[in-house]
Structure 1
Amino acid sequence: MSSVLITGASKGIGRAVAVELAARGHRVVATARRPEALADLDVDQRLSLDVTDQDSVDRALAAAGEIDVLVSNAGETVRAPLEAIPLGEVERLFRLNTLGALRVAQGVLPAMRERGSGHLVFVSSIQGRLVLPIIGGYGASKWALEAIAETLAIEVGHFGVNVSIVQPGAVSSGGAAGAKVYLKDEDPYAPLYAALPLLRGETVTPEEVAAAVADTIDHPRPPLRVPVGAPAEKALRARKEAPEDEPFRLAEIDW
């Protein structure tokens, strides 16, 4: 079994991944900014790790010991039209969702490369391949994450290190409900915000995403991209087949 470090394991997908991998017999190192939130997880280690803080990452990796698999899951979202989203929020999303993922990958990669084995698993989203209105800042951070992950797959593959990108659609983790919203009273973008449930489509559970992550880790030849669930597969297939000369729309909205 593998030694797996998970970022953002205090709730949602990250917590479900920790439970699933521990049940499959893997050695799980669960991490979060608030390690007390991990207290009830039955895992090998529970560590403090803030992916936006280099010292925090260094301390956690030193305490974790040898890591075979990194599940890079920590991330957040906001709701705002790009016309009005505070640029500080966009920077925060990139620091957390994109650069944070790269920071931890940089921490584990030297040992994986020297050992000739390892696996980087990035929890992305269908929004790493298509866009949804009002979630553009989050989507941009995931597009950038997927560019980083695919580049890493090319750079580290011949050292024996695998890279996988897990792509769920909407997940019933509560993350969207807790997202910051930047819309004014009588906002002109309110119809788009109201249509988000339709645009996001059917949800999958954190446990379904966790099973896909665990199956990817256990796969003898893990794929680069792993859509999670029929809704994600349908949306990504539609995006791939759509013409490139106009914006892609999952659904039409009555403005």
Structure 2
Amino acid sequence: MSSVLITGASRGIGRAIALELAGRGHRVVATARQAEALADLPVAERLQLDVTDQDSVDRAIAAAGEVDVLVSNAGSTLRAPLETVPLAELEQLFQLNTFGALRVAQAVLPAMRERGAGRLVFVSSIQGRLVLPIIAPYGASKWALEAIAEGLAVETAPFGVKVSIMQPGAVATDGAAGAKSFFTDDDPYLPLYKQLPALRGEVITAEEVAAAVADTIEHTDPPLRVPVGVPAEQALKARKEAPEHAPFLTAQLDW
């Protein structure tokens, strides 16, 4: 069994991953910004870790012991038109979803490289390969994350490190419901905002994502990209087959 460190394990997908992996007998190090939120998880270690804070990351990695697998899950989202999204909010999103993921990967990689083995698993989204209007700030952070993950896959392969990118579609967590929104009462982009539920498609459970993550970790030769669930597979297939001369999903919008 592997020793697995999970970021953002206090709720949603991260919590489900911790439970799934612990249930399969792995040594799980669950981390979150507020360690007390992990108190009821049946895992080996519960540590405070803020992926946007280098000192916090360093302390957590030092306390975690040997890490065979990093599951980089911590993240957030927001809703805003690109015309008016506050750039400070966008910067914060990248700090968490993108730079934070790389910061923790940088912390665990030296030991993995020296051992000649390790796994990096990044929880991305279908929005790391396609763009949904109004959620484009989140999508941008995931496109960047996937570029980083693929770069790491190329650079670390000679050292025995394997990288996988998990790509679920809509997941039944409180992430979307709790997302910050930036609209005025007479915002011209509100018609697009109201179409989001239909565009996001069928919803899967956090437990389905967790099972896919666990299966990927236990796979001897995991793929780089792993669509999670039939809706994700269908969406990514449609994106791949769509013509490049127009933005994807344009024809589906009532605009």
TM-score (norm 2): 0.99
Tell which deviates more after alignment, 41-50 or 243-252. 243-252
Q: Which digits, 9 at most, give the CA deviation of each residue in 1:16-57, with x for residues without a partner?
A: 000000000000000000000000000000000000000000
Q: Percent of counterpart pairs with the same letter? A: 76
Matched residue type, 1:70: L
Partner of 2:127: 127
Given the superposition, is the C-alpha separation of residues 251 and 3 from structure 1 closer, same or farther in structure 2, using an over 3 Å criterion?
farther
Partner of 1:107: 107
Partner of 1:154: 154
Given the superposition, is the C-alpha separation of residues 250 and 48 from structure 1 closer, same or farther in structure 2, using an over 3 Å criterion?
farther
Root-mean-square deviation (CA), in Å? 0.7
Partner of 1:244: 244
Q: Could you list the runs of 5+ residues in structure 1 that have no partner in the other structure?
A: none
For the 8 Å contact 1:45–1:64, the answer to whether it is kept is yes
For the 8 Å contact 1:49–1:60, the answer to whether it is kept is yes
Partner of 2:209: 209
For the 8 Å contact 1:199–1:250, the answer to whether it is kept is no
Query: In structure 1, how many angstroms separate the alpha carbons of the residues matched to 2:230 and 2:192?
Result: 24
Partner of 1:74: 74
Q: Secondary structure at the match of 1:25?
A: coil
Query: In structure 1, how many angstroms separate the alpha carbons of the residues matched to 2:147 and 2:167?
Result: 14
Matched residue type, 1:104: V
Shift of 1:186: 1.9
Shift of 1:251: 5.8
Matched residue type, 2:244: E
Q: How does 1:86-97 map to 2 (within 5 A)?
A: 86-97=86-97
Query: In structure 1, how many angstroms separate the alpha carbons of the residues matched to 2:254 and 2:227?
Result: 29
Partner of 2:231: 231
Shift of 1:122: 0.1
Runs of 4+ in structure 1 off by over 4 angstroms are none
Query: In structure 1, how many angstroms separate the alpha carbons of the residues matched to 2:171 and 2:191?
Result: 22
Partner of 1:39: 39
TM-score (norm 1): 0.99
Partner of 1:139: 139
Matched residue type, 1:143: W
Partner of 1:3: 3
Matched residue type, 2:186: E
How many pairs does the alignment contain?
255
Given the superposition, is the C-alpha separation of residues 13 and 250 from structure 1 closer, same or farther in structure 2, using an over 3 Å criterion?
farther
Partner of 2:98: 98
For the 8 Å contact 1:199–1:251, the answer to whether it is kept is no
For the 8 Å contact 1:28–1:44, the answer to whether it is kept is yes
Shift of 1:129: 0.2
Query: In structure 1, how many angstroms separate the alpha carbons of the residues matched to 2:75 and 2:188?
Result: 28
Query: In structure 1, how many angstroms separate the alpha carbons of the residues matched to 2:176 and 2:254?
Result: 23
Q: Which digits, 9 at most, give the CA deviation of each residue in 1:136-193, with x for residues without a partner?
A: 1100000000000000000001110000000000000110000000011021111110
Query: In structure 2, how many angstroms separate the alpha carbons of the residues matched to 1:28 and 1:79?
Result: 33
Q: Which digits, 9 at most, give the CA deviation of each residue in 1:178-229, with x for residues without a partner?
A: 0000011021111110000000000110000000000000001111000000
Q: Could you list the runs of 5+ residues in structure 2 that have no partner in the other structure?
A: none
Partner of 1:192: 192
